[in-house]
Chain A
């Protein structure tokens, strides 16, 4: 048999609240792409008419699927309808799925991951979310649906910008960026985004590069303070006057010199060490200055723990909370107060009201395939409900090609891509979801580095 592979039909998911300009954009796509056969599947009845021969009204049917340990919801109506549409010989050049403002985009996207027939014949091109610049802030504050629709998007069309002041618009775009750092944002009036920016974007094309807003790649650290001390040999003590928590994690590492540059070179190591298991510190124990993470129990009225220094040199102390908050002091063997040569407060991870956020990670180096598998697998299984989308381009030890992956909730699809060649082997990945813990994600990722 001649196995002529018919090209896959691209599918665009168009989402957004009622009145955001979805139908205007849809009609523009249909008009400007004339000569192309486009099928439209819509769930919203009785809105503005759509000028197209093939409009299918589908009643949303959410199906729960149980495949072993993976549970997810898919759109049964889409499996049924798309399964039939792809049979037509007068094949469609494109399929547009318009979902209502209240629909969860998750099941729509997951549908393309769980049905093998759809994977064979259709290509999910991208999720386009229309946002009414004038009303979105209200929606973002009031509904989780608005946050989710932004979180799932590959392209965000910020529409009706003529109704909003420009500084407000900057603020709005910043907030959207924090929700979804990987989407492309277009500011337009009257839905007038160029059609090529919303159709054929390849948002689910794993071989395309991953673009992450650089601001979101600023690492978060699992410690809020660090100090570098010049210490002589002998038994020193760390004194905590305050007890904001029952215990605090403390790490002591030797550094080359008491400078910012020297301690910066040890930040990654310190971050990884903070993801290790904490060793509780007993009354007679002392903190070893070799990078073991110590859990110091804080007593009311003050606590003192020993640090045994064998060799004179520079040592960095990292603490889970700020030195001031802990009332932290370091005393030498003869009880003299030692002042840190470097005293740095680390800004805690950016905080904002939205529970949805993006965590971008960028790191040089190579990943151990087994540890990566274990970490990503466990992460998606346990936190998959809250992780809307994940994407990554990774350098795996022993693999010449880039490894690319895409995930929606618990479902993940990964494959090897083009070789690294002479490019520097580096890792970029992003998680978009609810209640993401940047420090935990970075710690987990870092533990996979070889």
Chain B
């Protein structure tokens, strides 16, 4: 059992729903009323966040639904193995044989970036393609908008290309010899971190092109999350969570905080909105809430009946939705002390 220290904030499972297949992504409606799930059988589902209402199918991809993004207005965009992006019922085919690896709304909801094959596409709010990048060196595996929405960063084997969100042209290149699996831009837009196939994490100061390489992870790294103030970056890549501190001189030469509780590799990490708590889910079926301090870090934990593949904080930071490899979608509530 986790060493829960005294009376304090805890998590409880409020509802669970069963879907048909492995949950690839979950995301909240802006008003917190529903959770959307992209599943490996192709379904994009709306799950009620409260009460006993049934699951509603939003739309369905042929092959798996790989990714999902919700605009500030609540418009659902999804992508799948069928090479299509679905936006609010409209279908846009981008790839012939290529899968959609990622879709992501610009933070203001004015545009969608989608990764398909070696290219990044920029779509209008109704899904109409408006611009396309030059092909990258290899399949684009991850995308992240700059918080202000000016640029979008795309990762692939060979590093990261920062593209102009306007027309997809190249703004900055961050070359790195290796296979990039996930990337994230810091809340102030100055830093970028990417997790890699070779069990490492790489940091960039985008403007200065200064870089820092961190190795020693147990597995490939696809789990990255910044705290809202950009001071900490939590990274997965195995069953322990490593947290790097970017204050002062930054993480170079510093000792990261390590959180050990999971019995299987972590599959998702996320800091609580506007808060210092961190949530993580893992292949051991556990959702753990952490205080990011060295002493007594576990705040609370709950167990599910199947390995968890993904999770997401509600916009108000009071609930967490989790998705499992067997199709479970769970809604958990954070109860304050």
Interface residues of A (CB under 8 A from B): 1-2, 56-57, 59, 61, 63-67, 74, 76-77, 79-80, 84, 87-90, 115-117
Given contacts A84-B81, A88-B64, A89-B21, contact A116 B138 (CB under 8 A): no
Given contacts A76-B139, A76-B179, A116-B219, contact A61 B157 (CB under 8 A): yes
Kindly provide the distance from the CB of A315 to the nearest chain B CB, expressed in whole angstroms: 57
Measured between beta carbons, the chain B residues less than 8 angstroms from A2 are 305-306
Contacts A77-B139, A89-B327 aside, 19 further interface pairs with beta carbons under 8 A come to A1-B305, A2-B305, A63-B179, A64-B177, A64-B178, A65-B179, A65-B197, A67-B198, A76-B157, A79-B197, A84-B99, A87-B22, A87-B40, A88-B41, A89-B21, A89-B22, A90-B41, A115-B220, A117-B219
Bound-complex Cα distance A55 to B147 (A): 39
Measured between beta carbons, the chain A residues less than 8 angstroms from B141 are 80
List 16 A-B pairs, Cβ < 8 Å.
A1-B284, A1-B306, A59-B139, A63-B157, A63-B178, A64-B178, A65-B198, A66-B177, A77-B139, A87-B22, A87-B40, A88-B64, A89-B21, A115-B197, A115-B220, A117-B220
A88 touches B40 (CB 8 A): yes
Kindly provide the distance from the CB of B156 to the nearest chain A CB, expressed in whole angstroms: 9
Kindly provide the distance from the CB of B17 to the nearest chain A CB, expressed in whole angstroms: 16
Q: For chains A and B in complex, what number of residue pairs have CB atoms within 8 angstroms?
A: 75
Interface residues of B (CB under 8 A from A): 20-22, 24, 40-41, 64, 66, 81, 97, 99, 101, 138-139, 141, 157, 177-179, 197-199, 219-220, 265, 284-285, 303-307, 325-327
4 closest cross-chain pairs (CB), A and B: A1-B285, A87-B22, A87-B40, A89-B21
Q: Does more than half of chain B's interface fall in helix, strand or loop, or is it mixed?
A: loop
Bound-complex Cα distance A65 to B180 (A): 11
Kindly provide the distance from the CB of A69 to the nearest chain B CB, expressed in whole angstroms: 13
A61 touches B139 (CB 8 A): yes
Measured between beta carbons, the chain A residues less than 8 angstroms from B101 are 80
Measured between beta carbons, the chain A residues less than 8 angstroms from B157 are 61, 63, 76
Bound-complex Cα distance A64 to B141 (A): 16
Measured between beta carbons, the chain A residues less than 8 angstroms from B22 are 87-89
Kindly provide the distance from the CB of A41 to the nearest chain B CB, expressed in whole angstroms: 12
B197 touches A87 (CB 8 A): no
B220 touches A84 (CB 8 A): no
A67 touches B21 (CB 8 A): no
Measured between beta carbons, the chain A residues less than 8 angstroms from B138 are 61, 63, 76
B40 touches A65 (CB 8 A): no
Bound-complex Cα distance A316 to B137 (A): 64
Bound-complex Cα distance A286 to B157 (A): 63
Bound-complex Cα distance A63 to B177 (A): 9
Q: A56, A61, A84, A89: which contacts B20 (Cβ < 8 A)?
A: A89
Kindly provide the distance from the CB of A372 to the nearest chain B CB, expressed in whole angstroms: 27
A66 touches B178 (CB 8 A): yes
Given contacts A63-B157, A67-B199, A88-B21, contact A80 B303 (CB under 8 A): no
Measured between beta carbons, the chain B residues less than 8 angstroms from A116 are 219-220, 265
Measured between beta carbons, the chain A residues less than 8 angstroms from B326 are 89
Bound-complex Cα distance A79 to B22 (A): 18
Bound-complex Cα distance A348 to B58 (A): 73
Measured between beta carbons, the chain B residues less than 8 angstroms from A77 are 139
Bound-complex Cα distance A2 to B101 (A): 31
Kindly provide the distance from the CB of A70 to the nearest chain B CB, expressed in whole angstroms: 10
Measured between beta carbons, the chain A residues less than 8 angstroms from B199 are 67
Measured between beta carbons, the chain A residues less than 8 angstroms from B64 are 84, 87-88
Bound-complex Cα distance A67 to B327 (A): 34
Chain A residue with Cβ nearest B117: A59
Chain A residue with Cβ nearest B284: A1
Bound-complex Cα distance A87 to B157 (A): 23
Point out which of A2, A56, A80 has the most chain B C-beta atoms below 10 A from its C-beta. A80
Bound-complex Cα distance A87 to B303 (A): 21
Kindly provide the distance from the CB of B306 to the nearest chain A CB, expressed in whole angstroms: 7
Given contacts A57-B97, A65-B197, contact A84 B66 (CB under 8 A): yes
Bound-complex Cα distance A1 to B304 (A): 6
Measured between beta carbons, the chain A residues less than 8 angstroms from B325 are 87
Bound-complex Cα distance A64 to B178 (A): 7
Bound-complex Cα distance A117 to B198 (A): 13
Bound-complex Cα distance A89 to B285 (A): 18
Bound-complex Cα distance A90 to B327 (A): 12
Kindly provide the distance from the CB of A21 to the nearest chain B CB, expressed in whole angstroms: 25
Bound-complex Cα distance A88 to B304 (A): 20
Bound-complex Cα distance A231 to B206 (A): 82
Kindly provide the distance from the CB of B79 to the nearest chain A CB, expressed in whole angstroms: 12
B41 touches A89 (CB 8 A): yes
Measured between beta carbons, the chain B residues less than 8 angstroms from A76 are 138-139, 157, 179, 197
Measured between beta carbons, the chain A residues less than 8 angstroms from B66 are 84
Bound-complex Cα distance A64 to B41 (A): 32
Bound-complex Cα distance A90 to B99 (A): 19
Given contacts A1-B306, A61-B139, A79-B197, contact A87 B21 (CB under 8 A): yes
Measured between beta carbons, the chain A residues less than 8 angstroms from B97 are 56-57
Bound-complex Cα distance A64 to B137 (A): 13
Bound-complex Cα distance A79 to B156 (A): 13
